[in-house]
Amino acid sequence: MVVTMAGKNVCCTLVGDGMVGKTCLAKVFTDKTFPDQYVATVQDSYSGQAWFAGDQYSITITDSAGEHEGSDVRRVSYDKSDVILLCYSVLDRESYASLRTHWSREVGSLAKRCPVLVVALQTDKRTSRHVTTTEGRSMSKSIKANGFIECSAKNVNDVKDVFENVVRMCLRNRKRKANLLKRILGR
**22-31 and 156-185 are packed helices; what angle lies between their axes, rounded to 10 degrees?**
90
pLDDT for res 2: 42
d(CA 105, CA 69): 13
Helices (H), the chain: 22-31, 71-80, 93-98, 104-110, 133-142, 156-185
pLDDT tens column, 150-181? 999 998 889 999 999 999 999 999 998 888 76
Give the pLDDT mean for 68-88: 89
pLDDT tens column, 81-105? 999 999 999 999 999 999 999 999 9
pLDDT for res 75: 86
Handedness of CA 159, 160, 166, 172 (dihedral sign): negative
Whether pTM exceeds 0.85: yes
CATH code for the part of the protein at 9-185: 3.40.50.300
